[in-house]
Amino acid sequence: ETLRLFGVLDQQLAKQEFIVGDYSIADIATYPWVAAYEYLGVTLDKHPHLKRWVETMQQRPAVERGMAV
């Protein structure tokens, strides 16, 4: 199910920078779940748009602060 949902997100992110176009609560709420991909034992190798999004999200100062809590 995780891989299926990663595929859905990857398709969405192929069309725009963030999940619903602009950075929003959708990105904030989804990021921690996706960021746990290594813990879940999966990779983002087959999901290049999702991987780009994760890397973009990781660089946001507010995300860095939130994930450090």
List the domains of the chain with CATH numbers. Answer: 2-68 (1.20.1050.10)
pLDDT at site 10: 98
pLDDT, tens digit (0-9, with 9 covering 90-100), for 5-47: 999 999 999 999 999 999 999 999 999 999 999 999 999 999 9
Residue 45, C-beta contacts closer than 8 angstroms, at least 6 positions apart: 51
Residue 16, C-beta contacts closer than 8 angstroms, at least 6 positions apart: none
pLDDT at site 11: 98
Residue length, the chain? 69
